[in-house]
Amino acid sequence: MDSLPTLLTQNETTFIAFASLIGIIIGSFLNVVIYRLPKMMEKAWQNELDGLQGNIHPSSTYNLLTPPSSCPNCNHTIRFSENIPIISYALLKGKCSQCAHRISFRYPTIELFSGLLIAYIAWQFGWSMHALAASIFALSLLTLTAIDLETKLLPDNITLPLIWLGLLFNLRHTFTSIESAVMGAVLGYLILWTVYWIFKLITKKEGMGYGDFKMLAAIGAWLGWQALPIVILISSLSASIVGISLILLKKQDRASAIPFGPYLALGGMIALFNASNLTQLMGN
C-alpha cells in the first residue's frame, strides 16, 4: 500500500481533495484570527493608553489560543463536536446550542472559501513549493479581507510578515526575481502613499489607511512590480463598481468610507494565478 506522501504526489485527484480538506481546517483557525486579532489589538491599545495615564490594571490572558472559544452571547464554551468546520454549523442550524443565538455566516463561508482556494492552488501548482507559497499568500489575503470588511483594519501583524515572507520566497525566484520583489514592495507602498497625500491635499480628507499601503507592498513583494498595474486596475475598478452600486441602491452614503483591502486582495489573487504571464508581459 502506497504511503500518503507517495499517493499525494502521484495522484492529482487525491492531492487536490486532501489539500481542500486541509484548507477547510485552516479556515476554521482563520476564523479565530479574524475574530480575535482585532480584539487583541484593541486590548493592547487600551493597555498602552492606561499605562500612559498611570492606570495599571491586571488583565486576563487573551490571545489566539486562550481562552477557549465560546458563544459571545452566553459564554457557552464551544465543544469539539460543535467546532467541526462547516459540518457543525449545518448541524446546529447556525445557532448556539445553549442560547440559540445566531452564529455568523462568516464562519462556514471562510472555511469553504479556504478549502476551495487551496484546492484550486493544488490543481494549478501541483505538489510543489509554489503551492505552499501560494497557499500562504492566498489565505493571508482572505484573512485580511474578512478583517477589513468587519473592522476596517488591516493589521500590521499580518501585512508586515507577509512582506518579508514574499521577499524570502522570492530569494529562490518562486514567483519573480528578488530584484522585482524588492521593487514591488517599495513601489506598492509608495504608489498608494502618493495617492493618499494627493487626495488629502485636494479634499482635506483621508481616502485610505496606511494598512492599504502595506498590503499593496506585500502583494508587490510576492508577485513583483510587474503585477502592480493589474492589481491597481482591478482593485480600483471593482471598488468603484461596488461603491457606485451601493450608493445607487441607497445602501451606503457618498461620504462613507469603504474598505479597500478586499479589492486589493481580489487584484492580488487574480495576479497570483497569472504571475508567470505578467512577468513575461512586463519583462523580467
DSSP 8-state secondary structure symbol assigned to residue 95 = B
At residue 261, the pLDDT reads 94
What's the average pLDDT block by block, 10 residues per block, for the chain (284 residues)?
Answer: 67 90 96 94 81 69 86 87 91 91 94 97 92 96 96 95 97 94 97 92 84 97 95 94 83 76 96 71 52
Q: From the CB of residue 61, how many other CB atoms can be counted at a distance below 10 Å? A: 7
What are the backbone dihedrals phi and psi of residue 251, each rounded to the nearest 5 degrees, phi first? -90, -10
Would you list the DSSP string of 2-45? --HHHHHHH-HHHHHHHHHHHHHHHHHHHHHHHHHHHHHHHHHH
Cell of 109: 463561508
At residue 254, the pLDDT reads 67
At residue 57, the pLDDT reads 66
Q: What interhelical angle do 178-203 and 156-169 show, nearest 10?
A: 150
At residue 63, the pLDDT reads 87
Cell of 159: 501585512
At residue 33, the pLDDT reads 96
Which of 168, 276, 223 shows the shortest CA–CA distance to 264?
223
At residue 4, the pLDDT reads 65
Which of 164, 166, 182 shows the shortest CA–CA distance to 174?
166
User: Long-range pairs for 57-66 at CB < 8 Å and ≥24 separation?
Assistant: 62/36, 63/36, 64/32, 64/33, 64/36, 64/37, 64/40
At residue 255, the pLDDT reads 65
Per the CB < 8 A criterion, the answer to whether 261 and 148 are in contact is yes
Per the CB < 8 A criterion, the answer to whether 191 and 216 are in contact is yes
Which of 263, 279, 209, 260 shows the shortest CA–CA distance to 231?
263
